[in-house]
Amino acid sequence: MGTYRHLMIYFCCVSIVFSILDIIVQPNVQTYKSAFFMVVEVQRRNMDPWIAKVSVYCLCGCFGVAHYCIAIHFIYRFFALERKGRVRYFQGFNLIIWFLIPIFSGAMWFLITAEVFTQTSIEIDYIRNIVKQTFSADMHEIVFVSGIFYPIDQTVLMTIPFTVIIVFGFRSWKIVRGLLDHGESEYSKNLQMQLYKALVAQNFQTYKSAYILVVEVKRRNMDPWIAKGSIYCICGCFGVVIYCIAIHFIYRLFALERKGRVRYFQGNNLIIWFLIPIVCGAAWLLITSEVYTQTKIEADYIRNSVKQTFNSDMEDIVFISGIFYPIDKTGLRIFNWRTFLGFGLFSILMTIPFTVIIVFGFRSWKIVRGLLDHGESEYSKNLQMQLYKALVAQTVLPMIFLFIPFGLLFSLPMFEIDCQLLSSFITLTFAMYPAVDPLPILYFIDYYRNPIIGLELLRKTDYTMCETLTDAFKLKCCKRSRISNDESITIG
């Protein structure tokens, strides 16, 4: 066994210490809104508060030691499998250095826990109610460490997003008011305002095992059928958008391959490609309208949440909801097969474009990566690198703005995990994606970036300026290595 024996003994000792501290502390790790915290009930267990606090710090430190030990374990195992003699780095005095690395990281965990996650009045007031509800204990009866991302103080709360909402909401209102002046009739003006409200006033919510989309019709003087139709349409539009993105990636791969397969996007074939997102959007619309219905069970399940969040009765709203485990008339939790069916169908519809984006994005990345090694000139290599960066960014963006948020929103309520913070931004991320998607192209590609920011960083060896007055603003490309085929570069 050699050196590996010493590593295993060291790791076992760390695990023993970690287990002993876990028995002493018996930590309760909780989350509440934007806070995570660890609680030790000192009064109930008749424990000195300073012992409990130090034990919590040591437990966190041991966690830091443990996962660095695991990492070093993998390093040693890799060196041993390589058989290149690098196991010698774990012998003699070097072994002591490897042993010190986890201890140092554990000390960092200890210090961060002790110095950063302190017990101030803000933290105490923030978690007071949840501690009382969960442990039936007052704050002086416990010792805790907590991290609160958005505590509540007595001054200004979230000034930046509030200002953004006010400013851009007012500007949007002015634009819509201007559009209303061009309505052909009073009915047309009223219809435009109702549609506008329906599109901007939707609220995604989660509550226990439910996810909900709510429109307050009474407060906004909106016809319920318009609100419901708008909800169905916006769900259908989401299905259209994600399949459009997937088709975009297919076309880009065909263009980069240079095998003539771009012809599949020409003529009548283009109509078929256009119909695919429409059909998938129609499927989203039908699933939303037929599977997620408004029955008395759904209404009773979310009634309290709607009252607390919107201060509205169920008769004042229009909603669609998916509830995995509703409560029946006898007060028992039941299995809602309709929600699971809808979740399964939505998962299938999202998995197809997600897989297309991953597979075709990866294959495009491999092609562009290969082109970097075969550039005929510095100009060609630089251009391919710009395309490579833009491609990577445009592959990541739909994951961040569409697939991950909506995937979590649909799946977390199944396990009754609170994702209210995520649901608050879900409409915003969906609306932002079309505006954010072109930014990688505009930023990474010099041809677009330079005119936008007002710079003319064009190399003299690549371009010459025409001397005639009529062509003063035209640039003539004089580079000998020129890409003549319009399929050589295709950018979304």
Quote the pLDDT of residue 405: 83
Quote the pLDDT of residue 182: 54
Residue 63: C-alpha distances to residues 53, 68, 108, 119, 352 (Å): 16, 9, 11, 21, 39
Q: Which residue has the higher pLDDT, 465 or 399?
A: 399
pLDDT over threshold 50, residue 379: yes
**Residue where the block lists tokens 């003087």:** 221
Quote the pLDDT of residue 172: 53
Quote the pLDDT of residue 2: 64
Q: Which residue has the higher pLDDT, 157 or 178?
A: 178
Report residue 384 as tokens: 């391919």
- Count of CB atoms within 10 A of residue 115's CB? 9
Residues comprising the chain, all counted: 492
pLDDT over threshold 70, residue 464: no
Q: How confident is the model at residue 227 (pLDDT cuts 50, 70, 90)?
A: confident
Q: How confident is the model at residue 353 (pLDDT cuts 50, 70, 90)?
A: very high
Distance CA 77, CA 91 (A): 14
Distance CA 114, CA 111 (A): 5
Please name which of 38, 200, 232, 16 lies closest in space to residue 123, comparing C-alpha atoms.
38
Quote the pLDDT of residue 487: 43
DSSP code of 266? S
pLDDT over threshold 80, residue 184: no
pLDDT tens-digit readout, 405-450: 888 888 888 888 877 666 666 766 766 777 777 788 788 887 777 7
Quote the pLDDT of residue 135: 79
Please name which of 233, 37, 198, 14 lies closest in space to residue 129, comparing C-alpha atoms.
37
Half-sphere exposure (Cβ direction) of 360: Cα atoms closer than 13 Å:
20
Half-sphere exposure (Cβ direction) of 199: Cα atoms closer than 13 Å:
14
Give Cα 474 to chain centroid, integer Å.
Answer: 43
Residue-wise over 141-160: b if at least 16 C-beta within 10 A, else e? ebbbbbebeebeeeeeeeee
Number of H helices, E strands in the chain: 15, 8
Report residue 318 as tokens: 């229009």
Residues 6+ apart with CB under 8 A from 135: 28, 39, 41, 142
Percent of the chain with pLDDT over 90: 9
Pairing of the two strands 35-41 and 28-32:
antiparallel
Report residue 491 as tokens: 């950018």
- Count of CB atoms within 10 A of residue 236's CB? 21
pLDDT over threshold 90, residue 352: yes
pLDDT over threshold 70, residue 30: yes
pLDDT tens-digit readout, 86-145: 888 888 888 888 888 888 888 888 888 888 777 777 788 888 888 888 878 888 888 888
Strand partners, 143: 40
Rounded mean pLDDT of 19-24?
Answer: 79
Mean pLDDT rounded to a whole number for the chain: 76
**Spatial contact of 210 and 320, defined as CB atoms under 8 Å apart:** no
- Count of CB atoms within 10 A of residue 90's CB? 20
Sheet architecture: strand order including 142-148:
28-32, 35-41, 142-148
Quote the pLDDT of residue 355: 92
Q: Which domains does the chain have, with CATH numbers?
A: 3-148 (no CATH), 201-449 (1.20.1070)
Rounded mean pLDDT of 10-24?
Answer: 80
pLDDT over threshold 50, residue 49: yes
Q: Is 42 exposed, middle or buried (0-12, 13-18, 19+ CB in 10 A)?
A: buried
Q: Hey, is 486 helix, strand or coil?
A: coil
Q: How confident is the model at residue 196 (pLDDT cuts 50, 70, 90)?
A: very low
Quote the pLDDT of residue 264: 93
3-state DSSP helix/strand/coil percent for the chain, to nearest 5? 65, 10, 25
Q: Which residue has the higher pLDDT, 179 or 252?
A: 252
0.85 exceeded by pTM: no
Residues 6+ apart with CB under 8 A from 87: 3, 76, 79, 80
pLDDT tens-digit readout, 275-312: 999 999 999 999 998 888 778 888 888 888 888 877 88
Q: Which residue has the higher pLDDT, 458 or 265?
A: 265
Q: How confident is the model at residue 243 (pLDDT cuts 50, 70, 90)?
A: very high
pLDDT over threshold 80, residue 228: yes
Pairing of the two strands 203-207 and 210-216:
antiparallel
**Residue where the block lists tokens 């039936």:** 136
Percent of the chain with pLDDT over 70: 76
Q: How confident is the model at residue 157 (pLDDT cuts 50, 70, 90)?
A: very low
